[in-house]
Structure formats: C-alpha cells, structure tokens
Amino acid sequence: MEAFFSQLEKRVRKVDSLLCVGLDPHKDDLPEFSAAAAHRFCLDLIAATQDYAAAYKPNAAFFEVLGPEGWAVLKEIIAAVPAEIPVVLDAKRGDISSTAAAYAQSAFGTLGANCITISPYLGYDSLEPFLSDPSRGVFLLCKTSNRGSGDLQDLIVQSDNEETRLYEQVARLGQKWNTSNNLGLVVGATHPDAMKAIRTQAPDLWLLTPGVGAQGADLRAALQAGLRKDGLGMLIPVSRAISRAADPAGAARELRDQINQARTEIVKSTTKIETAFSKTQAELADGLLEAGCVRFGEFTLKSGLKSPVYIDLRQLVTYPQVLKKVAAAYIPLLAKLEYDRLAGLPYAAIPIATAISLLNGQPMIYPRKEIKEYGTKAAIEGVYRTGETAVLIDDLATTGGAKFEAIDKLVEAGLKVKDVVVLIDRQSGAAETLAGNGYRLHAVFTLSELLDYWEQKKQLPIEQIEAVRNFLKEQQ
C-alpha cells in the first residue's frame, strides 16, 4: 500500500487544497442531541464540502458522548467519506504498547480511519503499533493550539548537550521516527513562532495545524511559518467556521481559496534559498565558508576535472563546532535509510562519520585505502558481520568514480551497500553514475544550492559564483 502521506499529498494536489474539514457534531449544532442528528449533520457537511477538502477530521469525543449509538455513527461517517479522501481521527490516544495496539486496531481496523492523532508522552514503543502499517498515518502532538500548552510543551530540556524546548525535541524525534512517510506533527496555528522553530527541526514532516477559524489564528502567519519549501506540508483543520456558516460549501471554497492565495504569495515572495534552507542549514553554510572549507581559483580535482572551486572538508577537524553541525546535518538523511553500519571513507569522511556515530549511536567501520601488510592485514577496520548493510559516508560527490573502490572492498568483505550519503553533491555526474550501478546518492546540499545562498547573503564576489555556475553547466 502507498504510504499515508503520499496518499494525502495526492489528494492535496488533486483538489489544490490544504483544507481539512472538521466533522464535530457539537450539541449546540444539532436539532436534537442524538446519534441520528449527528449522523445527518456529518453527512450533510461531507456532501457540501467534498470538492474542497484535502481530508476530513472527525473528533471522537463528539461521538463518544452519544454512547454506543454515537460510536456506531462514527464508523458510518468514516465509511461515508469518499475513498480518495483521507480521514484523520482526532482521538489523541497514548498508552503502553499493548494497549496502543488495541487502540490502533480500533482506529484503523474497526473504525476504518486512515490516520489518528496520538500523544508522544510514553515514548516510541507506544507509537509503534500505530506506525507499523505505512498506509496508516499518525499526527503526533507536538505544540498544541490551546493556551495552556506551554505548561509542559515549552519546558526546557537537554538534548545532545544543548538546551531546547520540549516541543522542539518532539519535532526532532518525529523527523527521526518518520521512516515510512506516515508520521506528522500537530502544531497549533495559534503559535506561529513555535511552528517556525518546529519546521526548522522537522523540515520534511506534514503538520496538522488547528487554530484557524473559531480559535482566531492568523492564517497567513501560520502558513509563513509552517509551509515546506514545496508549498505543501500543512493540513489546516477548520470545523465551526464551516459547519456553522449559512453556506458550508461556500465557506469551504472561500477558505480553500484564501489558503491558496496566501501560500502562492508566500512561495513567490520567499527567495529560493530562504525557503529551501532551514536556519540550521544556513548556519552550516556560513560555517563552511568561515572555516575555509571552500576556496576559489583553478584546481585539479581527483577526478581530473579542472575546477574553479575547491571544497576541502579536511579543514573541519580544526573546527569542532562546525564538524558537529556537519554531522547533525547527515542525521535526517540517514534516518530514512536502512543500514547496520556507517562506513566512513578515508580520509576526509572519517572524522565526519565518527561525529555522526557519536550523535546517533550507530556503529562505524571504514575501508582502508591500503590493505595492511602486517598484523591482521585488514581491509576493513572495525567490527561487522557478513550480510550486514553499510551506508557509505563521504564528504563530497563529484563524478562518483572514487566511491566504487570503497564499495568493492566492503562488498568483498561480505557487506551490502545500497546508499551513499555526502555533505555536498558537486553535480558533476555522481548521482547518475552511482544510480547506473544500483546505488543511491543522498546529499545535504548541492553545490548550486550553496552558491545561491552565498550569493543571496553577498558572501562571495558574483564573478566567482558565475565562474562556478558556468563550470557546472559544462558538466551537465
């Protein structure tokens, strides 16, 4: 089955909408307080808004309060939503793993929901039952829209020897735990500053952003803070502002159009790099330049190419704070891959791989440039087992040819290699060369992205930037 957020994105693009319509049969909105009235209320709302809804979000509480009949109606309402429209069950579950498994079966199996809101408070093992099927999604409570959210969610905690707010740590963990493209975060649109910080920690995740409408959140401020660089990544739930409107269909259409107009303006007004680079990435790009890791002139690369730019990441050993940021930048890419060992390439990537290992706790090995002629005569340093998968860690990728010698040594030692992860792709054919041999290249930056950023920040003379851009065009 297709991953949940792939399904959601397909629906979003089809109807060009980020609007999630809430199915909340408040007692005050019903002609009588009964399951039958709630059933009619929701069916009418679905019929009126399905052309504009990216998803629907029934809140379990408004059905549970109606007793067994209400629970039965909830199942019928979920079934009544057209199959191509995802249903997010707002139930905010959270319990130990055995109980969580029952909650997951209830939400996904019994009720037929596609996604559910859950609490991270009990840790990852309490989430696993909800995440085990990639076609079913979760939105993890991160920074909720209510006024009292700061009582716990804003507390300062220690993470990787740094102080951070609890909601930022949840966002970091969410980015790490989203291995099957089925985990997102609940972030209140009422807290745009927190949303901006969360987007920095979780640049890829979808955010469910309640608070627009009756709670009075600033729609544009929320979109400015929460949109991904592709103009997606936010699902905006609205309930009462639609259901209590004289014309729910018109209200949904107007909201959809307001959202689209604002996000179009934001994407257009935000420069390419400001959208593409998080604060952390921008700081890293600055650090690479300040540490002298990038030089301009005329250089002969290992591949034999003549280049107007030389990137020397061996300098990082002298700048531990920059090295730490470099290592941290690899973590989100590695979190999406399956592997048993980090394999750092001599020599520039060995400090990087070591720093990554210290951050994420993954064991490291490295293939020697020259096989030892004494002692163990090892070709691979470090402990590993035949049949394990190693992810290749390097600093740069140019043509890709230099990677195969290391890959061959790892394969000859009985290891599997599927992925190569680098800090910078110089865009000189490495991705294509590796792909042609069955390997995938992943890069924190492309050289073009760095050039665009440095140009925007006016950190380099334009003639140097243009010389490198012309060089890249010649390689493509």
Residues 6+ apart with CB under 8 A from 329: 280, 281, 284, 423, 444
- The span from the CA of 36 to the CA of 307, in Å, is 73
Q: Which of 75, 92, 336, 416 is catalytic?
A: 92
One-letter identity of residue 149: S
C-alpha distances out from residue 115 to 110, 118, 208, 258, 362, Å: 13, 10, 11, 26, 31
Contact 354, 344 (CB under 8 A): yes
* Nearest CA among 239, 255, 11 for reference residue 114: 11
Strand partners, 421: 393, 442
* Nearest CA among 135, 4, 115, 109 for reference residue 56: 115
**What element of type H or E holds 425?**
strand 416-425
Residue 138: DSSP 8-state: E
Neighbouring CB atoms inside 10 A of 28's CB total: 8
- The span from the CA of 333 to the CA of 330, in Å, is 6
Tokens of 298: 């005329």
One-letter identity of residue 138: V
Length of the chain in residues, anyone? 476
**What element of type H or E holds 422?**
strand 416-425
Contact 308, 333 (CB under 8 A): no
Q: Which residues of 443-470 are buried (b: 16+ CB within 10 A; e: fewer)?
A: bbbbbebbbbbbbeeeebeeebbebbbe
Q: Is 92 a catalytic residue?
A: yes
C-alpha distances out from residue 20 to 86, 170, 181, 187, 253, Å: 9, 23, 19, 14, 12
Q: Give DSSP secondary structure letters for 16-51.
A: T--EEEEE---GGGSSSSSHHHHHHHHHHHHHHHTT
Distance of CA 251 to the CA centre of its chain: 31
Phi, psi of 389 (to 5 degrees): -105, 130
Contact 150, 172 (CB under 8 A): no
Phi, psi of 369 (to 5 degrees): -70, -45
Among all residues, which ones are annotated catalytic? 92
